[in-house]
Structure 1
């Protein structure tokens, strides 16, 4: 039979440090984030799309290739193979022509394509923010699950000690058999929770490996403990920083600039494009005609009479500008809400962690110790001991869940603002 001292030592074991030490540690969070940014295929696809639009922007201001022309002019039907000397109008002609857009169209096309490419460049940065957030969120969920598993493992050992004490009291006629059954039931509940947490961890491992673009069955080690970083910035400062650094705002501003340039280009389409051509005719003497060479210079232009099509182009650019402007307003509202909500959640979780660490958990440990001692001498029933154990178990889990939630809310806030807030405070 184990002594009371041995049982109390088991109760005071740390919640998971010994268990965590038996397994390999996970890579540092910055390493995981960098791996995700380097390997994620969606991010690679976004980079390729941006490079594609950069190449399109280079093409947009180029002239069309000139057209070179060769022709035999005014051949005689009765002598189709006679290329000169029979008729003074017969000539060999070489010509070249070049399409010339109306002044300003080329630069506007380049501006439109440049703003479009810029929007895709900032969308890459926005995707990086989302990827960092997802990696951090998964990382801290793993932290909460790992510590919950450690707490469950510790409580399984405690329940084994409780069972031993209940059996000892029952053997000497001081306890009831129901105490042994209750202890077994509580142990079964813990085993059920352990299975659920293990399955949850497997899902988180697969999710993290997916974000890192590595095989989903790659082992993921334990997440180490950490101290909660303090956030010194106010809501107003965070909003100002978001205005300056949030990539999605820059994406929408680029789209507005693109729509404005498209509007100016659509108005330019009301003016014609030109085609300049030069032809040189090689002639031979025929009859009394000395056969002097001749040349022709020509200028042709289209007639922009399709007003409905051009009016639709102007309306399209106006609608695009309005859409992007309203999306900016919506995004700013979302950023304001996220900042205020995250700051509220951070404050709440910070205070809960301090309360659990500084007051509730030490008091719950003392209550459990006292309950067990009193049960040993028959002053309280076994149900009181179990209630004390369940209370301590729940408080310890809530402590680690609050710490994980604090860090997830901080990651959410960083994604809303567009920068790493903890790195800039060090």
Structure 2
């Protein structure tokens, strides 16, 4: 018994350690996942699950897929009941509508049979339209993902702009203290103090506007995620580095091969061609088969077989439908060419914006930013020794802040162009 109790205690200890390790592992995994809003990846996954517009696109694509099987199925058969001599004139009886009590009751079942190949073509056309719906769903998702990326970049820009504004405000407040101390010593006029205080007030007003814009961007993101506008989002982290090299010819090739709008137009061409072939098949007749059971009152039952052929007599209407189907193929080809032309035009425009942004960033980081920082440092040192006035220091600080703002704006504009490239040609490696 003692050994059994010790074994149970050991088992409980092992189970407890296992549960604790699993809890710690789950906590660590949860800790490694960035909070919602910190990066764009989490937002996109959230939108994939909760965005109502994309949920509608998914449902429509699934509905189109469900139309494939019925398109190639046989029509439902029909059943007829025919009451012959229901007045019972031949037998001298009374009028009745009860089967078996009339002169003769006929039970007939009829099955329509489309001409050879028509059912297969109908199923193929429905399948092509389902593929087109899938491609339209994928295109809608790419548009939504790009919209989320751009909205998050604006949210990120507003957050970083607020941080730069707060840094500038702290700097102005430190300059105000220096200005006040030097004013008390009679080294600066009162106008310098008033100028510093006016700049601080302007900076605070700008910060209020930036914070309002950041809250507006957060509300826009929540709307794309299917959340209430007031839901909190985490502060944005720094985005991933920009791709080193992008070649326009490679992007164009990828766009032609992977862009879902081009795929949708291709499926539209396929569906139009199948519909044309199906229209041409209408030159051949459809059929019907019938089986009849005859039950005379008081006599022996018998069986009849019926074979029916549809006569393709309305030639002018059929020729008009054939011309319509041929023109629809021409229209589908033209739409595909127009979609590719538009795609390549948008791709070229986004690539030009991206390349220009990369060059601007390189100039700002490699040339203008070091120059602004050097000017700021030299002006601060000269101001400390009284060799320059307050306006010179303020102008140097403003140039540095403006340069940082220009870098932020160039970075955001370049990333927006990258989001547009990813929408057109797929995610970048």
For 1:298, the equivalent position in structure 2 comes to 306
Match of 1:405 among 399, 404, 413: 413
- For the pair 1:34 / 2:45, whether they are aligned, the reply is yes
Instruction: Provide the aligned length of Structure 1 versus Structure 2.
Output: 388
Q: What is the SS of the residue equivalent to 2:359? A: helix
Match of 1:73 among 74, 84, 87: 84
For 2:396, the equivalent position in structure 1 comes to 388
- For the pair 1:216 / 2:229, whether they are aligned, the reply is yes
Contact 2:39 2:239 in 1 (8 A): no
- For the pair 1:52 / 2:59, whether they are aligned, the reply is no
Gap change, CA 1:284 and 1:390, over 3 Å in 2: closer
Gap change, CA 1:228 and 1:349, over 3 Å in 2: farther
Q: Quote the offset at 1:397 in angstroms.
A: 0.9
Contact 1:100 1:275 in 2 (8 A): yes
- CA displacement 1:138-168 (0-9 Å, x = unmatched): 1222221111101100111111122222222
Q: Quote the offset at 1:236 in angstroms.
A: 1.4
Aligned-pair Cα RMSD in Å: 2.4
Q: What is the SS of the residue equivalent to 2:387? A: coil
Q: Quote the offset at 1:405 in angstroms.
A: 1.9
Could you state the TM-score of these two structures normalised by the residue count of structure 2? Answer: 0.83
Q: List alignment gaps of at least 5 residues for structure 1.
A: 1-23, 84-88, 286-290
Q: Quote the offset at 1:308 in angstroms.
A: 4.4
- For the pair 1:282 / 2:289, whether they are aligned, the reply is no
- CA displacement 1:81-131 (0-9 Å, x = unmatched): 499xxxxx9433232211111222211111111111111111111111112
Contact 2:156 2:236 in 1 (8 A): yes
> What is the CA–CA distance in structure 1 between the aligned matches of 2:160 and 2:36, rounded to whole Å?
13
Specify which structure has the bigger relative contact order, considering alpha-carbon pairs within 8 angstroms and separated by 6 or more residues: 1
Q: Quote the offset at 1:353 in angstroms.
A: 2.4
Q: What is the SS of the residue equivalent to 2:186? A: coil
Contact 2:139 2:259 in 1 (8 A): yes
Gap change, CA 1:364 and 1:272, over 3 Å in 2: same
Contact 2:276 2:329 in 1 (8 A): no
Could you state the TM-score of these two structures normalised by the residue count of structure 1? Answer: 0.84
Q: What is the SS of the residue equivalent to 1:318? A: helix
Contact 2:169 2:200 in 1 (8 A): yes
Q: Quote the offset at 1:391 in angstroms.
A: 0.7
Q: What is the SS of the residue equivalent to 1:218? A: coil
Match of 1:105 among 112, 118, 123: 118
Q: What is the SS of the residue equivalent to 1:58? A: helix
> What is the CA–CA distance in structure 2 between the aligned matches of 1:360 and 1:250, rounded to whole Å?
45
Gap change, CA 1:379 and 1:82, over 3 Å in 2: closer
- For the pair 1:145 / 2:158, whether they are aligned, the reply is yes
For 1:369, the equivalent position in structure 2 comes to 377
For 2:216, the equivalent position in structure 1 comes to 203
Q: Quote the offset at 1:26 in angstroms.
A: 3.5
For 2:269, the equivalent position in structure 1 comes to 256
- For the pair 1:416 / 2:424, whether they are aligned, the reply is yes
For 2:318, the equivalent position in structure 1 comes to 310
- CA displacement 1:235-288 (0-9 Å, x = unmatched): 111111112111111111111111111111222223332222122323467xxx
Q: Quote the offset at 1:56 in angstroms.
A: 1.7
Q: What is the SS of the residue equivalent to 1:220? A: coil
- After TM superposition, the structure 1 stretch with the greater mean CA deviation from structure 2, 172-181 or 274-283, is 274-283
Contact 2:284 2:312 in 1 (8 A): yes
Q: List alignment gaps of at least 5 residues for structure 2.
A: 1-34, 97-101
Match of 1:268 among 281, 285, 292: 281
Q: What is the SS of the residue equivalent to 2:267? A: helix
Q: What is the SS of the residue equivalent to 1:219? A: coil
> What is the CA–CA distance in structure 1 between the aligned matches of 2:262 and 2:416, rounded to whole Å?
23
Contact 1:25 1:223 in 2 (8 A): no
Q: Quote the offset at 1:136 in angstroms.
A: 1.2
> What is the CA–CA distance in structure 2 between the aligned matches of 1:402 and 1:169, rounded to whole Å?
39
